[in-house]
Amino acid sequence: MEKDGINIPLHFLGDQLEFPPVEMASSDGLLAVGGDLSPERLLLAYKNGIFPWFNEDALILWWSPDPRMVLFPQKVKVSKSMRKVMRSQQFSLTQNQCFEQVLDYCAQVERKDQEGTWITPNMKSAYMELFQRGIARSLEVWQENTLVGGLYGVDLGHVFCGESMFSLTSNASKFAFVKLAEECLVKNYKLIDCQVHTPHLESLGAELISRSDFMTHLKG
């Protein structure tokens, strides 16, 4: 792979629980290939600013992009129309009540400009294991007694690493995201890691920062 015009060898992971320095990532953020999805490796990855992202029937790919999309909780943007939604009580929120359902919906709900899903059966099993260990968690959005939106991610105690969210009705995922930001602000979390840029996340206040700045917040 190439970094700053210089060809560097792609790092293949073996059985040893380790990752190369994130500065070794390619220009598109690819850091390493292979390894496994054990809870220990996943937790090590997130603690070091690395996350898995790959297609079904492909090798595990590990990423650490530069720049990094993040939300500082105090900078969440809530539009006037969204404030009305937040006050309307049309939605209610629970946490960790149906993690597996949230995971399944995140895998199944179609998204614009996205073919298929990266939440493979092996990936699902890995995050279910993290959930059982109290490391991964979910926020669920309900309309009456129906699950209509939510998100999940890995909680490091000072940084929430968002993985995916879904919405079956207008504003449901935004509701979950805003509620997450409010909680993180109260608990003095440094940021919510959104990984890569999307217009939707930007509209909610997320911004791009350098990987080095991200690592400072993550390690601080």
CA distances from 5 to 2, 8, 34, 212 (A): 6, 9, 24, 20
Contact 5, 26 (CB under 8 A): no
User: Could you tell me the pTM of the whole model?
Assistant: 0.93
Contact 175, 93 (CB under 8 A): yes
Alpha-carbon torsion (192, 116, 144, 133), positive or negative:
negative
List of the chain residues with pLDDT < 50: 2-6, 112-116
Half-sphere CA count of 165, side-chain side, radius 13 A: 25
Q: What is the four-CA torsion angle of 80, 84, 87, 90, rounded to 10 degrees?
A: -140
Residue 8: the pLDDT is 62
Name the DSSP letter for residue 118.
Answer: S
pLDDT digits 0-9 by tens, 149-192: 999 999 999 999 999 999 999 999 999 999 999 999 999 999 99
Contact 10, 1 (CB under 8 A): yes
Rounded Cα distance between 188 and 64, Å, is 24
Nearest CA to 40 among 15, 20, 59? 15
Token pair 């999307």 is at which residue? 198
Contact 61, 102 (CB under 8 A): no
